[in-house]
Amino acid sequence: MFRSARNFVGFSVILLILILGSVQVAHAAGFVVNSTGDASDSNPGDGVCADGSGNCTLRAAVEEANALTGSDTITLTAGSVYTLTLGQLSINSQIVIAGEGATVTADGASRVFYVAGTGNLSLKNITVRDGFSEVGGGILVDSGGALNVLNSAIISNTSTGAGGGISNYFGTINIANSTISGNRAYGNGGGIDQRGFSGSGVGNLTNVTIVNNTSDWDGSGGGDGGGIYTLSSLLNLKNSLVAANSVGPTGYFTEPDCLNLFGLTSLGYNLIGATDNGTLFPPGTPNANNDFVGTYSAPLNPLLGGLTGNPAYHPLQAGSLAVDRIPGSAATLVSSGVNPLFADGDPLVGDQRGAPRAGGPGQGGSAADIGAYEYDSNPTAVTLVRFEAIPDGAAIRLEWETAHEIDSLGFYLHRSSARDGEYVLLGDGLIPCKTPGLVGGAVYTWYDADVEPGERYFYRLQEVDVSGRNTFYGPVSAVVTPVFRLYLPLISH
């Protein structure tokens, strides 16, 4: 009996060791979204992004990331559109979403993102659009939360209260090289609504274009600050373009671009279309702060084109006051708090598209431009409509489309295993353009079959014109999903 008891205890100890050895703590991970559907994760916290059908949706990835410790990265498919049908995406942990040119939309049914007090959301190369909510139509940052945005667009969102595009309530926002356009608020802050109390709430905007936003959109007289509204909260504005915004017919103060009730601060080299706040933004082209500021009676026209590109931007036109204004000493980014995308003082080396900035450290040339877009007086011979990397079976299909190919010779494709790594030439050489010298464009397809499942590859497109000028697009990226097979042992009786 003693031997049996001893054997039982020994077996129990072994079983306990096996059980404990099988328990794994869920840590930070990376998730590649492979479905544009909107479904929840089957088991948040198990480290696997999978809905009931085994697909990794954006919602499932966010829910999984919220349940894990540490920082998580979610990568979307280039050019895809993710439509939310189950309500807003709530962020409760530190999450980076690499958009790769993708769009996340609520299609007017809900807010797009809510950042809780424990949340830190970073958005890169992504479009957030068509959100609808009482506060923060596109994005709401709650007290203690943080939002970081780079090379992105916040467009066509609506709030029945404050903050058509973004509302920051006592949190932290860092936005750079991005466009905020076409957003609407029935109340204050058509583009951005920034609020705080006793020093809480911080915002930093560097080379941001804020145009065509509207407050008091319903004409009820309940709002102002068509572009930006600040209330007792620090909002640093640097190298940014705020113009062509509007207020409904009965706004409180009728400040179309910026209404500052304590907190808005100029760090210089901004373009403000129209304001009568002579203390913060004295009129001048430029004024003593190196800001270009218009008044109600003499507003400044920034000379912008319509929205184009992906994520969308407003290109500067020839003769714009925003061109060649930022010296190298001021071509740096501003940031506060935890920001995985860029640090305070980082050099401004590219615009929203990734095109090089003039005047930045190591860039040479004349001064950089105000806002999200860097003007080019000698544009490329090609107008590129899209450039995408798409998983296609065991290969990656590269597609690009042009609107015209005047004076273009053709294209080269380059690949790397890292976004900022070394790129190698693909194929046998130049891919000739299909419509040389013509206004009409063409569609191109190229397959990269030399890929490993589960590995992410980055691609750049190089266009060469007849003068030898080279223009680079991208990078875009894609992953071929591994195929897993389960083999069960054959058991004979």
At residue 1, the pLDDT reads 40
At residue 456, the pLDDT reads 93
Stretch (H or E) spanning 20: helix 2-22
Sequence-distant (6+) residues with CB within 8 A of 384 are 400, 401, 402, 403, 461, 463, 473
Query: What average pLDDT does range 20-42 have in this prediction?
Result: 73
In three-state secondary structure terms, 167 is strand
Per-residue pLDDT of 370-403, as tens digits, reads 999 998 765 556 777 789 999 999 999 999 988 7
Of 481, 480, 473, 482, give the one whose Cα is nearest residue 101: 473
CA distances from 465 to 380, 405, 472 (A): 8, 9, 12
pTM: 0.76
Task: Look up residue 113 and give its two tokens.
Answer: 């993102």
Torsion of CA 243, 248, 251, 254, to 10 degrees: 30
**C-alpha–C-alpha distance, residues 394 and 332, integer Å:** 42
Q: How many other CB atoms sit within 10 Å of the CB of residue 407?
A: 15
Residue that wins the pLDDT comparison between 329 and 488: 329
Confidence of residue 318 (pLDDT cuts 50, 70, 90): confident
Query: What average pLDDT does range 76-92 have in this prediction?
Result: 93
**C-alpha–C-alpha distance, residues 350 and 311, integer Å:** 15
Confidence of residue 4 (pLDDT cuts 50, 70, 90): very low
Q: Is 2.60.40.10 the CATH classification of the domain at 382-479?
A: yes
Confidence of residue 360 (pLDDT cuts 50, 70, 90): very low
> Distance between terminal CA atoms of the chain?
34
Domain segments of the chain: what residues? 25-105, 135-377, 382-479
- Does residue 297 have a pLDDT over 80? yes
Of 332, 314, 311, 312, give the one whose Cα is nearest residue 322: 314
Mean per-residue pLDDT of the chain: 86
Per-residue pLDDT of 393-444, as tens digits, reads 999 999 998 877 777 889 999 999 987 778 899 998 899 988 776 656 789 9
CA-angle at 313, arms to 385 and 178, nearest 5°: 130
At residue 25, the pLDDT reads 38
Structural contact between residues 401 and 443, judged by C-beta atoms closer than 8 angstroms: yes
**C-alpha–C-alpha distance, residues 360 and 177, integer Å:** 14
Structural contact between residues 347 and 328, judged by C-beta atoms closer than 8 angstroms: no
